[in-house]
Structures are given as C-alpha cells and as structure tokens.
Structure 1
Amino acid sequence: MGRKSVGIVMFDDIEVLDFCGPFEVFSVARLNEENRREEPSPFQVKLIAEHGGQVCTSGGMRVNVDYGFENCPPFDILCVPGGWGTRREVSNPAMLAWLGARGKEVELVTSVCTGAMLLGFAGLLDGHRATTHWRSLDWMAQSFPQTTVVRDLHVVDDGALISSAGISAGIDMALTVVARYCGASVARATARHMEYPYPETSERRITF
C-alpha cells in the first residue's frame, strides 16, 4: 500500500497522551522490522490546529503544529484527541464545521477520549457505535441519542469510525488502525517495539 496520511487535530488544553500515543504508534510502525532504520513508517502524521502555529496542552507543554484549517492538505485518516479543551471546542463553530467537512472526506475517522464528543457535535456520530472516557459516557448518551454508546469496550471499531476510551486508549486505537491497514503482525511488532502490551481484546480495562 502507499503511505497513509494521518491528520491529528490539536487545540489548547488537549491531553498530551491523547495525541502523543497515536502519534507514536503511527510514526514507529514499520512494514519490515529488519529495515526499521532504513524505511519510513507506512503512515505520515501531521498536526493541525485551527490557526496553525502553536497549542498549549493541558499540562503546559507547547506544541508546534504543521497546518492550520485553511492550508492543510487532504488526509486519509483523521484523529481527534480529547482533553479538557474539548469543553470549549464543542462550542467552536469553526472547529465543528471543519471536522464535519473533513470527516466526510477521509477514509477513516478516529477519536481518543472526549475527542468523540467533538465528532458528535460535528454530526459525525449519528447512527454509529462509539465510546469515550468513562467519565463522559453519560454526557455522550445525553448529547447524542442517535448514537449507540458502548460502555464496556476500550476501542469501538465501527467501520469508517473508530473511537476509543480515555487517554491511554488512543494507543490501542492506533494499533487497531495499523492492524487494519498493515496486518496484525505489523501491529504486534509495533507494540513490541514500544514495549507496550498488544491489546488482545477490546474490553475496557477498568471497572466503574
């Protein structure tokens, strides 16, 4: 396959691991482990924010992004992380309009944590099964009655939409994407390279 382009949406007060987890998975994946240093990842990852420039994460890390909404190219895969900043962004018309438009153009839409809430308010969750951070499951159910809220899975693969639970679940989600495009053996090798336990099941890892 040709390289797949991944656009990760950024905003102020984003949760660091929400975007860094998927970024790491996509950037370290290799089709051939023996040529890890010589060959690039089958995924090319870029960061996008509404105005470009820089965003400040929930923990204070400052991150430079690659594109703003107005100048970013098309992507194959869209990844929407979460974090406290989603509470503001769900009322941002520019964010919701951009997500709504781009979400209909890409091959695959993915979310981590409360990034799924942004997808919902952008009109991209209706008719789908989805999940989010356990603290926000009721918020999702109340906000999107046309969405089937899945409470017992860490990652919900619903075809053109893959959503995941809170924070660290984004790693599992990204490994699911790698397995879809490159095969389970590549996904397992990616997890092993990261010294991360490969998710043998999609079941949620905590009880509440």
Structure 2
Amino acid sequence: MTDTPKPFHIVFLLFDDITQLDFTGPAQVLARIPGAVMHTAAKAMEPIQTDCGFAMLPSVNFVDCPQADLLCVPGGFGTKGVLQDEATLQFLRDQAAGAQYVTSICTGSLALGAAGLLEGKRATTHWAYTALLQKFGATYEKGRVVKHGNVITAGGVTSGIDFALTIVAELGGENLAQAIQLALEYDPDPPFKSGHPDRADPKLVAMLHERVYDSTLQGLEEIIDAS
C-alpha cells in the first residue's frame, strides 16, 4: 500500500503584466512534487494579462488563498504596480509568516523587498536591477539561485527552472529532481553565449540598457524611494 503524500501547497502571486515564463517555468517543475497543490493567487478573480499578449485566470483571490508551504513571486514589468499596492504587499507578508519557503523569480524579489521580507538577506534578481536590492536592506549575491535561510531568490526569467529543481532536490532528493529534469528534457544548450552580461557582447548589454532597462530601473527606483 502506497502512502498518500502530504499536501504541499504552492502559491504563485499573479498580477497584470507578469512575465509568464517566470511563473510557468518553475510551475511545470514544482507541480511534479509528490503532494503538490498549485494555487495562483491574485487580488481579484479576473483575467491576468501577461507580457506575451495572452491572459491567465487565477485560481483564488487573496482572501480565500490557503496558507502556502511555498510562496513564489514572479517578476515582470508589472512589478511596478505590485510595489505600490499595499493589499498585495500585506498578502505577501501574511503568507510569508507561515510559509516553509519564501521565494521569487526575476524582479519578484523587489516585491519581497517592498514587503520587508529581504532585510538582512542575501538575494538576487534580474541582472539589470541588482542595484535595487540594497534599498531593501538586502545584499546582492551573483547567482542564478541564491538561498538565505528559507528565502530563495532566482535571477532573471529562465533561472526559475533552476530554482524549482533546487527546491525539488531539497524536498524529495536529487534523484527526484534529476528525474524531473530528464522528463522535461531540460538540457540547456543555447545557440548563443549571450544569456548573461558577463558573456554577452558589451554593445548588446549597453543597447538593452538604453532601450529597455534604464528607464524601467529609474521608474522602479522612484517608486521605491517614494514608499
């Protein structure tokens, strides 16, 4: 007779203009944990617009959301709105108080910081926004996955898959994590070696800063400084 695994509640925060892969990448991995129960929580039970032109439906609102064993905050340009929404920040504080793991992907770490959950912690975020972590009392540590106590933060977007496999290994052992990695054929071999500023052409890094990240960074900085 096989024992039924204890439910392990995983709560992802959803918000408009979310980077969908921040959520769907790790969700695909974490859903395979024995006993995993997935919840997608939003302020209201309305379609959430992603950064890819399609919408997702949350499974639960903040009021009805069960206590998370693992709380995860994805990132995206919609992080600006999260930083200014006290109801969302309070939801994160309330959930974090009872969670086994408090986690984020990409700029989701800034939301954890705004909720007061990164004070004194080592953390990471998307490479373009690492300077903002110090504003929340956190210390930036270079890495795709950074663990400090029960707080685990991942770098930009695809780092979420590495983060999820790290969680699986901690909960169920490396054999389970490796089996899931194999089942998903997660065997990165990108056609270009430009996935991080340390390896990319400096001209490409400068172009992205100029066209995308500098203005977003300034906007986020202004929001954080005004809070």
TM-score after normalising by structure 1 = 0.86
Paired residue for 1:4, among 4, 8, 18?
Answer: 8
Question: Which of 138, 150, 160 is equivalent to 1:160?
Answer: 150
Residue 123 of structure 2 contacts residue 133 of structure 2 at CA under 8 Å; is this kept in 1?
A: no
On the 8 A contact 1:125/1:147 being kept in 2, the answer is: yes
Pairing partner for 1:25 from 4, 29, 51? 29
1:14-163 matches, within 5 Å, as 14-29=18-33, 41-141=34-134, 143-144=135-136, 146-150=137-141, 152-163=142-153
Cα root mean square deviation, aligned: 1.4
- For structure 1, the residue ranges without an aligned partner over 5 or more in a row are 30-40, 199-204
How far is 1:169 from its partner?
0.5
Q: Does 1:195 align with 2:185?
A: yes
Larger radius of gyration between Structure 1 and Structure 2: 2
Structure with the higher helix share, 1 or 2: 2
Letter in 2 for 1:3: P
2:166 to 160, 176, 184: 176
TM-score where L is the length of structure 2: 0.79
Partners of 1:10 and 1:55 within 8 A in 2: yes
Unmatched tracts of structure 2, length 5 or more: 189-194, 199-227
User: How far has the Cα of 1:159 moved from its partner?
Assistant: 2.1
Letter in 1 for 2:21: L
* Distance in 2 (alpha carbons) for counterparts of 1:137 and 1:25: 26
| In 2, Cα distance between equivalents of 1:116 and 1:101 | 16
Of residues 69-78 and 110-119 in structure 1, the stretch that sits farther from structure 2 once superposed is 69-78
- The SS at the match of 1:192 is helix
> How many residues are aligned here?
188
Q: C-alpha separation between the residues in 2 aligned to 1:84 and 1:207?
A: 20
CA distance in structure 2 between the aligned counterparts of 1:89 and 1:75, rounded to whole angstroms: 19
C-alpha deviation, 1:68, in angstroms: 0.5
SS of aligned partner of 1:104: helix
Alpha-carbon offset, residue 59 of structure 1: 1.3
